[in-house]
């Protein structure tokens, strides 16, 4: 079973998730559902809801609450993207004009705030302190990660642990929460809930790391953004952290990374250095380690279709770089 087959297995339920997402956008302020429809119709992988649904299958939980919570997870993800686009002054999102370019920064920020609040309001109805703790942790990590990323923009002294903190906020935290909530809904033992939590964290870290690696190696038409865009925005990600470590702070490389008004020439220099010091290969080894840890976390569960689906997604993450 490949990655697309897994999505097809959950296609009907993911449509239900989208219906619940539309409900979260409901408001007497008609601009909110209008923008909501625009965002929902722009697509998106719905990866985070998928993680929750498969994890719920693994946990043996099939009640409709899993659909509601999957929609909550996607609403929180959407809220973070709206805020990110304002911070990054983005012009496109998923191949369409971004909401901030159409409706302005003020409306977009307020809509993001509304989604955060509405998603948490829907979660309160589940009457689970554990679920609220998981979501509040994830949302605080999202904000903290974004602030840390801004603080470390263009800073070659960034540590690996700081990088992990940033990508936990950007990606891993919400995937972690999605998997954890599935276990909570199923009333699993704390040991099994923690196993799902560990899977979500490690697979989320791996997923973002691959995105960061692809920024330096992917075909631009497939990546959907300009090669080296992260570096041009001052984001120091895994391949550069590997480069800085291997060259022990070589002055020419540090100065190139720190240079203002980043040029195509400087980007080519960095790409050559990455190849020279095998930074992509060593970065991939780090990703593989996180994927292996994610899979190992699920060993507590007996083999099943759901566990194999989660393993296939883990394998897909590694294949994305090829």
**pLDDT value of position 321:** 65
| Distance, CA of 195 to CA of 184 (rounded, Å) | 12
Written as six digits, the tokens of 73 are: 């997870």
pLDDT at 218 over 90: no
**pLDDT value of position 45:** 80
Mean pLDDT of the chain: 92
pLDDT at 223 over 50: no
pLDDT higher for 233 or 195?
Answer: 195
Q: How confident is the model at residue 262 (pLDDT cuts 50, 70, 90)?
A: low
| Distance, CA of 190 to CA of 67 (rounded, Å) | 22
**178 three-state secondary structure:** helix
**pLDDT value of position 274:** 94
pLDDT (average), residues 92-117:
93
CB 210 within 8 A of CB 321: yes
CB 63 within 8 A of CB 185: yes
| Distance, CA of 314 to CA of 295 (rounded, Å) | 8
| Distance, CA of 316 to CA of 94 (rounded, Å) | 21
CATH number at residue 93: 1.10.600.10
pLDDT (average), residues 214-235:
72
pLDDT at 228 over 80: no
Q: How confident is the model at residue 227 (pLDDT cuts 50, 70, 90)?
A: confident
pLDDT at 44 over 90: no
pLDDT higher for 122 or 230?
Answer: 122
pLDDT higher for 59 or 234?
Answer: 59
Comparing 86-95, 116-125, 224-233, 274-283, the range with the smallest average pLDDT is 224-233
C-alpha distances (whole Å) from 211 to each of 4, 79, 121, 135 are 19, 20, 32, 24
**93 three-state secondary structure:** strand
**pLDDT value of position 268:** 86
Comparing 61-75, 126-140, 159-173, 247-261, the range with the smallest average pLDDT is 247-261
**Interval 67-80: pLDDT, tens:** 999 999 999 999 99
Number of domains in the chain: 1
Owning domain of residue 288: 3-319
């Amino acid at each position: 079973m490949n990655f697309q087959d897994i999505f097809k297995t959950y296609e009907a339920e993911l449509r239900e998730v989208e219906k619940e997402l539309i409900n979260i956008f409901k408001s007497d302020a008609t601009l909110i559902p209008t923008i909501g429809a625009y965002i929902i119709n722009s697509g998106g992988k719905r990866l985070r809801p998928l993680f929750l649904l498969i994890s719920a299958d693994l946990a043996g939980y099939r009640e409709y609450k899993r659909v509601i919570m999957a929609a909550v997870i996607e609403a929180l993800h959407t809220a973070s993207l709206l805020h990110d686009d304002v911070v990054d002054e983005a012009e496109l999102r998923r191949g369409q004009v971004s909401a901030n370019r159409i409706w302005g920064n003020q409306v977009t920020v307020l809509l993001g705030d509304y989604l955060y609040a509405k998603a948490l309001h829907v979660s309160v109805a589940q009457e689970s302190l554990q679920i609220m703790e998981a979501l509040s942790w994830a949302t605080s990590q999202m904000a903290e990660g974004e602030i840390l990323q801004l603080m470390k923009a263009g800073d070659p002294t960034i540590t690996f642990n700081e990088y992990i903190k940033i990508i936990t906020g950007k990606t891993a935290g919400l995937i972690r929460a999605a998997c954890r909530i599935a276990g909570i809904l199923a009333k699993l033992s704390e040991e099994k809930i923690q196993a799902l939590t560990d899977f979500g964290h490690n697979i989320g870290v791996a997923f973002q790391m691959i995105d960061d690696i692809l920024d330096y190696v992917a075909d631009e038409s497939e990546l959907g953004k300009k090669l080296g865009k992260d570096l041009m925005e001052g984001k120091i990600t895994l391949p550069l952290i590997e480069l800085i470590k291997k060259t022990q702070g070589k002055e020419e490389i540090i100065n190139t990374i720190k240079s203002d008004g980043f040029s195509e020439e400087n980007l080519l220099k960095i790409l050559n250095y990455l190849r020279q010091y095998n930074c992509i290969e060593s970065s991939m080894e780090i990703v593989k380690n996180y994927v292996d840890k994610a899979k190992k976390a699920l060993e507590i569960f007996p083999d099943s279709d759901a566990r194999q689906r989660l393993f296939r997604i883990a394998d897909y993450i590694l294949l994305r770089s090829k």
